[in-house]
Structure 1
């Protein structure tokens, strides 16, 4: 199992945890909008580190962004499996063709 799969499973398990027992549960208890806001903050921080060019800082911020992306998706009942299925559907399709199909 990958670290991303482990993380997604932990997030899913925290959906039923008490907010005072888990940061993830606390975020989820605040609703999808707050989860989306946190993801946006972390995405901006990752962008800043990408522009700066600090590989270690970017890896750290990218990890934060992935975590918050999965929390945001979990808040709307979108699982890592759902995301992987969409990626598999797109596999082998040109990015230009995929964009044009939307």
Structure 2
């Protein structure tokens, strides 16, 4: 572990993958940042958050440590198959346009 850093993005961008093992998760900003940087993300399929962003091939059931371990082995071997594009709905311009539509 490197400890606190003022700029984690080079580490995220150069990581093989981001692994999220939460039981509960909202919209995980770090997950969106990793996707934006082109880093594959695998995650538990929490009740909200990751399943709204990631395809099913990137998800495992909450609490299934064997499935998570297997998915980690898969992402190490072939990270490119777990790479996803960041959906436009997570970009600031899109969000701002949707807010403006609400007030018009």
Asked if these proteins are the same fold (TM beyond 0.5), I'd say no
TM-score grouping bracket, smaller chain normalisation? under 0.3
Higher strand share: 2
Normalising by structure 2, report the TM-score.
0.24
Higher helix share: 1
